[in-house]
Amino acid sequence: MLILKLWVLNLKFEQMKVKVIGIPVQDQEKALEFYTGKLGFVKKVDVPLGGDSRWLTVVSKEEQDGPEVLLEPSPNHFEPAKTYQKALFETGIPYTQFNVENVQQEYERMVSIGVEFSVKPTEMGTVKIAVFNDTCGNNIQIVEML
């Protein structure tokens, strides 16, 4: 009987999955332009939420069934989010990071299209990193595994 119960529980039990990570942005349309135009992401979901707000996500072009990046307008609607974002930005701390094959090449490509970096490609043990301004209030880090 116990075995049967465990079997039923096992059937019903589903693990949580990472599907969406959020990045606060001050202007969703501008963020969409930057994340698709400069970073090469692809728009996946765009749902109007009333007013100017949208549920707006982008995905990596190479992993379109992978995790979505939610460009959320939280700094415009929740003062503490704005304060937190500003504090991180001013201290140069990245809000999040994305993996790339080659940090140096990506750095050169992005600089050539006008993206500003606060940390140039830097080796840090077993990784190489660089940090850029996403023009929407965040520092974002790119990482290459060495």
Partner 1 sequence: MTLYESEIKRIRSIVYSNQGQIDTVIATRNYIDNNYDTDLNLNLLSHIRFVSKFHLLRLFTKYYGQTPKQYLTDKRIEKSKEYLKKGKNITETCFAVGFECPSSFSTLFKNRTGLTPTEFQKEQLSQSRSNADFETLGIKPKI
Q: What does the binding site for partner 1 look like in residue numbers (CB under 8 A)? A: 15, 42-45, 59, 64-65, 91-94, 118-119, 122, 124-126, 129, 131, 139, 145-146
Q: Which is nearer to partner 1, 83 or 118 (CB)?
A: 118
Residue 104 amino acid letter: Q
- Least CB distance from residue 53 to partner 1, whole Å? 19
Q: Which is nearer to partner 1, 2 or 47 (CB)?
A: 47
- Least CB distance from residue 114 to partner 1, whole Å? 21
Residue 54 amino acid letter: R
- Least CB distance from residue 80 to partner 1, whole Å? 20
Per DSSP, the residues of 76-125 read: HH-HHHHHHHHHHHHTT-EEEEEE-S-HHHHHHHHHHTT--EEEEEEEET
